[in-house]
Chains A and B, each alone.
Chain A
């Protein structure tokens, strides 16, 4: 059964102007995006800033108004504001652990907030539940009375995780969960997220621009450019056999850890860059938007130019 199905999602933001502040134009942040996520998998959503990946995540979360299209969660249609009981099955972990936790609240109140919204627990039960959650994310249960500033970045991100898993969600949307962290802390959080996924049978929608991290974490990957999908496939297909010039460029841009390949990388990157600028008009329409996705294999879809 498909856990999440996004069908032709459109999120447009109005641009207002003129004397009456009427809508004069719109920004098409997400323009016709479709994908499906199966239970238990980690799905990566990759793109540059402004490509619409975060907007897509927020739309699934119900934080953005949807202009068009449908989002199904376990075959039930999600529309903004409705189906509260389904909403608790979808949780989000935010990018910046320094600003996504209220600095004036104690850890207890931060983690208990979703519990207070959905479950009626006594003070004692609530405290016990929060302590269990803290243990699960590897923090000491005594820290319930501390404030966020007393924790390091990695620990704060764990508090965010504890809050997200409090209601036993099925799907967790992670928006650049490790981008603000140092490499060593990043490794810690990534390992921990993988363990947690196995333990609680979670499904992840992983939004990131870091292809190294995405490759490490994800089973399937969708690449976005300018509000549309340009390519979707398994990890192997995207990294070993990228078909769209934008994907090729993205993969080529990843810095190589081996200094001896430096010269080859430079030449290869130059080559791909030229290919990108030369064939840009073939791969994108007049407005710079990608074409419709066409299947290449069962799992691999690419926005190849329309022929003829």
Chain B
């Protein structure tokens, strides 16, 4: 059997605004292997969460075209009754905000039990409780027996996020989608949660889709990285390649806009312009061209495609060949020091 767990083929997720449909995820193809962390990076509005929600079948009114093949079966547009057999079982999701993802009126134990009972109808109650307490222990919640009967408001943000992770892994999913799992958390807790996710992945051998805008988290966690801009994948590569040899102008701009802890920059790079809204997305040509106006029109392709420039490293549009930063000299030095 092949190693591929999830294969997304030409996925297009569109939302209706007024009378027309606009694609938030446009013609995206990717695959996730077993025991692999695929990070999806991009600014807000780039379509990364829309992609995750499409895979989970959580969009209510979106038009989904293309194929989402999970373990050999196309799950795109599956009715929710059938989808529920996968969801929370083989396919699970960790949500961004631990403060709102839990039911405030339900004890922690019961919330985890919900996920368990749905997919294990024959498990006796006592056994389920034991299992849940084990699970809480696994996500390193102190005094799990006590927490079992507590309500979400009695726990801190980091603890709540652990509970959400416990719910997600209750049925030992084969594919785990984590949508900004640590964005709402402090750095020390973030480090703990990432360690925890890493351990779980190694234990269960699951595939993980990690959605984040934090490139530090990506560098720490991911095996492969897909960079999204305006609904499209603009670059995809393994993590070392992406950080050492980024090619697409958007990837390079993103990397030079983060303040680094061990590198003194006086000025951060600012990406020109703003992320276009869904309605105003350029549907033709290179979608990033409006944000690098100093690059000549002729550098862009008419219908930009992903080019494989080295094995496993894909870049969209030819403009990367001609790209330079407007403040190039200074930037080049920064770039060199960042790499050395």
Contact = CB atoms under 8 A, between A and B. Distances in A.
B258 A212 contact: yes
A250 B258 contact: no
B257 A211 contact: no
A254 B268 contact: no
B73 interface: no
B157 interface: yes
Interface residues of A, number: 38
A93 to B, nearest CB: 18
A242 to B, nearest CB: 12
Given A211-B261, A215-B261, A184 B43 contact: yes
Interface in B163-191: 186-191
Given A212-B258, A257-B215, A257-B243, A187 B268 contact: yes
A258 interface: yes
A190 to B, nearest CB: 6
A50 B274 CA distance: 34
Given A152-B274, A187-B257, A258 B219 contact: yes
A49 B187 CA distance: 10
B213 interface: yes
A246 to B, nearest CB: 9
B271 to A, nearest CB: 4
A212 B188 contact: no
Interface stretch (A5-13, A126-134, A261-269): A261-269
Interface extent on B, as a size class? 35 or more
B273 to A, nearest CB: 10
Contacts of B219: 255-259, 262
* Residue picked from A184, A253, A255, A269, most chain B C-beta under 10 Å: A184
A191 B267 CA distance: 6
Contacts of A260: 240
A258 B265 CA distance: 17
A207 to B, nearest CB: 14
A210 B189 CA distance: 13
B271 A216 contact: no
Contacts of A239: 261
A135 B135 CA distance: 56
Interface of B: 43-44, 156-157, 186-191, 194-195, 213-217, 219-220, 222, 239-240, 243, 253-255, 257-261, 265, 267-271, 274-275, 338
5 contacts: A183-B257, A210-B187, A216-B259, A258-B243, A266-B195
